Amino acid sequence: MAVLADARPAQRQPAPPGRARVSRWHRLDLTVSPYLYVAPFFVIFGVFGLFPLLYTGYLSLSGWREDQDGSRGTFVGLANYTRLLHDQFFWNALKNTIGIGIISTVPQLMLALGLAHLLNYRLRGRTFFRMSVLVPNVTSVAAVTIIFVQLFGRDYGLINYVLHLFGVSRIDWQAGTWSSWLAISLIVTWRWTGYNALIYLASMQAVPFELYESAALDGAGRWRQFRSITIPMLRPTILFTVIVSTIGALQLFGEPLLFNVSQTPAAGGSQHQFQVMAVYTYQTFLGNGKYGYGSAISWAMFLVIVVIVGINLTLVRRLRGVEGA
Amino acid sequence: MRFALRRAAALAGAGLLLAGPALAGCGKSSGSSPAPAGTEPVTLTVNLFGDFDYKPLYEQYKQTHPNITVKENITDYDTHHKNLKQHLTAGAGLADIEVIEIGQIAGFQGQASKFVNFLDQGVDPSTWTDQRVKDASSADGKVLFGLGTDTGGLAMCYRPSLMKKAGLPTDPAALSAQMKTWDDFVNLGKTFQTKIGDRNVHWFDAASNVFNAIVAQAPQGMYDASGNVIADTNPDVKKAWDQTVAAIQAGESAGLAAFTPQWNTGFQKAGFATITCPAWMMSYIKANAPDTKGDWNVATIPGTGGGNWGGSYLTIPRSGKHVQQAIELAKWLAAPEQQTLLFKTKGHFPAAQALWKTDDIINFKDDFFDNAPVGKIFSAAAENIKYQPLGAHAGEFGNAIGNALVSIEQGKATPDAAWQKAVADIKNIAG
């Protein structure tokens, strides 16, 4: 605390003579150290975020591909991007990404909201329950997907076994478009619902109790309270989770890749029915060694994310907020 | 399943490797004099896809080279070759010895200069067939960057018990006589399906394996001799496609895509009667379905009797820290004694052509396969392999067509739509 107080510019006093040296250090400390404190983030972001982003941008303008010697560093302008417009596999990947994104994110956030509401009640051992919902999130994507692939096994999977008890014939989950989307969405939902529930819960606890009290006095039932108090008060949090989940869904990679148990995991199914954008980038860039074109897809993916997040932002902003807030 | 677990293991392995040198560095006292060359403890890393059954050999090697410890990293086929490409481009992350599969080797020819040239290391290229040497050489033929380890000449493995149930010959010679051509094979499959009377048992495992075997016998497959992509226009490819589709439509395919958990189960539960069978498949069957011992036999492959599936090369990236030791180990692993041993104990058929005529190989029979004369069969299969031009993306084209066949097997696409999709895939990969 004392340090913080010291750092306030308002506290600065003209240095008495004789202490000029100390004062210079002090001033330097005041001007430089804040930057030093935030530097680690920016250095790491620069090395692992910004540089790859810019370098990929540079590559996307080049015709570099592994199967053509001497193609490294050749400049092809926007040729990779014009090709992208006519690439049926890219549009297919975009469709799959959005499809899986919707059926994994929308139910997930609603489920999280409901779960948070339940966890907000006075429960016996509620810390235990609150912590438990986070457990799926701390397990690794690979481990979770491997287990789900077992559950979704065509011949000996638990899910088909249970469905079989109800007279449903065996489903080859990887084979169909909807079945594969559903299965992948379930993996994503399982991993992320608890995480979002905790965020909602934290925000719910910040809602003043008086609001509920007065609403109850006015005769509002539980559902009405949830709709008219909880949701509007949670608006900024919902905004946050929608944005973060949208970005996550559009960058989906590990689940669809590992869900494909075959010699060609990056193909995303026999007809690319669950090949999402990140997996198509991976296949093009590393699988087929088309570095220039793969980079262009990568950048297109970035732009798609910006656009879709923008759309979502405007949509969610229209959600009714607290009156006067 | 299998690949994912292996990938996880490989990641853990990589982590250990990264920590290894750092830990070793801590232990070294700065004052000690360096050990004389050749006896200093050296750890060599070997990156493989699948199990090459090298582990007992490393132990044997250690007896004559006590300072050499070998660490293996096994990933799946796809990841292994992707990683290798990536690491070569980055110039980091390479193992001392990297294997490359025959379907992928042509894609590395342009980077031949990044590997040790075995022609400078006293390796005699006439050890292998011209085709094997050409595939692992730079375009001008001045650099040989791969030592051929094993060969994937094709035979047909089958289940005598299922043949007997369907009233077909159980004896390899009699069975071979009934499937001289691929059309015969498809027709015999129809007979099999009607007579077996069990909807869970099929004539063969996966359409893509049959398709690949038919194409492998053609004079040209995915590329022509001047390196142009002909996968979508080659009449031999289309013919193989049509024959395979006919077999799928007759219900002959078990629809078990190769290297999936379902495929593995198919071996164990006798889900299919035949499988196109390079020698290494014997090792796969033994490891995967040990309880089926004795209920296997090996017939000759239909068609011209040639065709190749698999086989690998050992390569040594020049950027390695222990290039000299790696060269010695690679040469030893690829030496005739070790190749013979690996065939007799594990079923990896030698790439070294002189061995195909040795009594040791020719007279070898395998009791797992009902004492079939596998030495003789695979020697003949290896001799029968004809030159087929390879290209950078031959493997990916094959996979694209294989996936299209899978979509027919799954009942998700008509043959025409699937073919269109495969052609689009091929154009996208090549273009």
- pLDDT value of position B103: 87
**Contacts A–B by Cβ distance under 8 A:** 96
Tokens in use for B265?
Answer: 């189960």
pLDDT band (50, 70, 90) for residue A314: confident
For chain B, the helix, strand and coil percentages under 3-state DSSP, each to the nearest 5? 55, 15, 35
Question: In whole angstroms, what is the distance from residue A63 CA to residue B343 CA?
Answer: 45
Is there a contact between A145 and B5 if contact means CB atoms under 8 Å apart? no
Question: In whole angstroms, what is the distance from residue B250 CA to residue B252 CA?
Answer: 6
Write the pLDDT tens digit of every residue in A98-140: 999 999 999 999 999 999 988 988 888 888 988 899 999 999 9
Tokens in use for B89?
Answer: 């481009």
DSSP per residue over B125-143, as a string?
GGGS-HHHHHHTB-TTS--
- Contact B205/B258 with Cβ under 8 angstroms? yes
Is there a contact between B412 and A175 if contact means CB atoms under 8 Å apart? yes
Residue of chain B whose alpha carbon sits nearest to that of A140: B8
Number of other CB atoms surrounding residue B197 within 10 Å: 9
- Tokens 């869900």 belong to A259
- pLDDT value of position B51: 87
- Contact B327/B318 with Cβ under 8 angstroms? no
- pLDDT value of position A3: 44
Q: Which of B8, B258, B413 sits opposite A271 (nearest CB)?
A: B413
CA angle at B408 for the pair B405 and B412, rounded to the nearest 5°: 135
Local structure of B293: helix, strand or coil: coil
Tokens in use for B214?
Answer: 């038919």
- pLDDT value of position B381: 94
- Please give the biggest Cα pair distance in chain A: 91
- How many residues in chain A? 325
Test the A interface: residue of B412, B416, B425, B427 with most A CBs within 10 Å: B412
Place domain B154-307+393-430 in its CATH homologous superfamily.
Periplasmic binding protein-like II (3.40.190.10)
B422 φψ region: left (φ > 0), alpha (ψ -120 to 50), beta (else): alpha
- pLDDT value of position B79: 86
Tokens in use for B215?
Answer: 């194409």
- pLDDT value of position A204: 92
- Tokens 């493997």 belong to B395
- pLDDT value of position B253: 96
pLDDT band (50, 70, 90) for residue A17: low
Report the percent of chain A where pLDDT is more than 70: 91
A residues 172-211 closer than 8 Å to B (CB):
172, 175-176
- List B366's β-bridge partners, or say none: B372
- pLDDT value of position A321: 55
Tokens in use for A28?
Answer: 């330097």
For chain B, say whether A162 makes contact (Cβ under 8 Å): no
Instruction: Give mean pLDDT, residues A151-165.
Output: 91
Question: In whole angstroms, what is the distance from residue B356 CA to residue B379 CA?
Answer: 5
- pLDDT value of position A68: 83
Q: Residue B49: enclosing H or E segment and its boundaries?
A: strand B42-49
Question: In whole angstroms, what is the distance from residue B428 CA to residue A293 CA?
Answer: 11
- pLDDT value of position A29: 86
Question: In whole angstroms, what is the distance from residue B265 CA to residue B291 CA?
Answer: 12
Residue A1 reports pLDDT greater than 70: no
State the architecture of B2-10+40-151+310-360 in CATH terms. Answer: 3-Layer(aba) Sandwich (3.40)
Question: Which residue from A186, A155, A151 is spatially nearest to A169, judged by alpha carbons?
Answer: A155
Question: In whole angstroms, what is the distance from residue B54 CA to residue B72 CA?
Answer: 9
- Contact B281/B209 with Cβ under 8 angstroms? no
Is there a contact between B258 and A145 if contact means CB atoms under 8 Å apart? no
Given a cut of 70, the residues of chain B with pLDDT beneath it are 1-38
- List A62's β-bridge partners, or say none: A75
Write the pLDDT tens digit of every residue in A204-214: 999 998 998 99
A84-317, which class in CATH?
mainly alpha
ipTM of this complex: 0.83
- Tokens 């041993």 belong to B341
Domain ranges of chain A: 84-317
Average pLDDT of chain A to the nearest whole number:
88
Between residues B133 and A6, which one has the greater pLDDT? B133
Spell out the alpha helix ranges (H) of B149-231: 160-165, 172-178, 182-196, 207-216
Q: Residue B379: enclosing H or E segment and its boundaries?
A: helix B374-384
CATH 3.40.190.10 occupies which residues in chain B? 2-10+40-151+310-360, 154-307+393-430
User: Buried b / exposed e across B279-306, counting CB within 10 Å, b at 16+?
Assistant: bbbbbbbbebbeebeebbbbbbbbbebb
Is there a contact between B259 and A262 if contact means CB atoms under 8 Å apart? yes
Local structure of A137: helix, strand or coil: helix
Local structure of A260: helix, strand or coil: coil
DSSP per residue over A57-82, as a string?
HHHTTB---TTSTT-TT-B-TTHHHH
